[in-house]
Amino acid sequence: MNRTWPALLLLCACSGSSATPASSAGPSAGDPAASSDGTEPSDGGTPDGGATVDAPSSVGTGGCGQVGVPTGMQSKTTKVAGKSRRYQLFVPTAYDGSRPTRLVFVFHGLGGDGDQIRSYFGFEADAAGQALFVYPDGLAQAQAGGATAWALDDVAFFDAMVSEISASHCVDSARIFAAGHSYGAYMSNLIGCERGDVVRAIAPVSGGIIAGKCKGGVAAWLAHGANDLTVDQSEGVAARDHWIAANGCSATSKPTSPSPCVTYDGCSTNHPVTWCSFAGGHYPLPAFTKRAIWDFFEAW
């Protein structure tokens, strides 16, 4: 599997805009994953299109039971390989230190930072206090022309954040997730592969796959615009196909909610693959994106 960050991302500061997501124009005519049976998408009350769900019991971490934990947005730093790394942790006012809580990492695009991607996705409102959110900052990277971005050794940064937050907060270690846009989508795919034994599901949007030695299967929700001129949709298709193979899915799919998404048949238990090909470009994202990602994570 390719281990080189794509040079094509140097074309622009991907997801560098905090514009409000626009409405989707619907599925593209050439959607490579569309069902051919002509049926309407089913909503079924779940975001996984009827995939087998056998949710495990919550598994609390060492931070459970601590009192006086502050809520709101907090700026954190940690040392990784001798470098000071910054991330932001959002703790909702409804946080209960005795109850294991979902932990969601959100990775920014080229030239962005944690503040930008938080504004861009805006997951917190949809989560309604049911998750801790982490917004890490990338470092200036040579392969990105000196812009803030991600590198292969940022997996160690992810490990450090998981360890620190799990020690200070009541994290449900069975429900850790990663999402990202553009360069951040590559990063979330990388985390899904190399830390498949840690994360339960990922949601890469408008990015591709960089993977090494994958550990276990993860549920994957992917979206990519058919008219993306920054990261060609073929990159997203390659990521989709990676997870289809890794999760033992078949080549057939069924429409699922929201349209224009489809979920693949026959995936291993708890490892569905949902693919959303929309008619737009790199950004703004279609309005369905952020809610659909949260619904996918919440289902677990």
The answer to whether residue 61 is domain-embedded is: no
The answer to whether residue 31 is domain-embedded is: no
The answer to whether residue 98 is domain-embedded is: yes
Identify the domain containing residue 216 by its residue range.
41-46+70-298
The answer to whether residue 56 is domain-embedded is: no
The answer to whether residue 125 is domain-embedded is: yes
Task: Name the nearest CA neighbour of 292 among 210, 220, 237.
Answer: 220
* Confidence band for 147, pLDDT divided at 50, 70 and 90: very high
Whole-angstrom Cα distance, residue 215 to residue 168?
26
Q: Which residues of 166-183 are buried (b: 16+ CB within 10 A; e: fewer)?
A: bebbbbbbebbbbbbbbb
The answer to whether residue 265 is domain-embedded is: yes
Other Cβ atoms within 10 Å of 126 Cβ, number: 17
Q: Is 74 helix (H, G, I), strand (E, B) or coil?
A: strand
The answer to whether residue 15 is domain-embedded is: no
Any idea which residue has 């002509």 for tokens? 38
Whole-angstrom Cα distance, residue 57 to residue 63?
17
Query: Of 38-52, 69-83, 217-231, where does mean pLDDT reach its minimum?
Result: 38-52
- Which tens digits make up the pLDDT trace of 198-243? 999 999 999 999 877 788 789 999 999 999 999 999 999 999 999 9
Domain count, the chain: 1
Q: Are strands 219-225 and 201-205 parallel, antiparallel or unpaired?
A: parallel
The answer to whether residue 85 is domain-embedded is: yes
**DSSP H or E stretch at residue 224:** strand 219-225
pLDDT at 210: 87
Would you report the helix, strand and coil content of the chain in percent, each value rounded to 5?
Answer: 25, 25, 50
Task: Name the nearest CA neighbour of 204 among 247, 235, 163, 244.
Answer: 235
On average, the pLDDT of the chain sits at 85
Give 160's DSSP letter.
Answer: H
- Which tens digits make up the pLDDT trace of 166-202? 999 999 999 999 999 999 999 999 999 999 999 999 9
The CATH number of whichever domain residue 293 belongs to comes to 3.40.50.1820
Whole-angstrom Cα distance, residue 217 to residue 224?
21
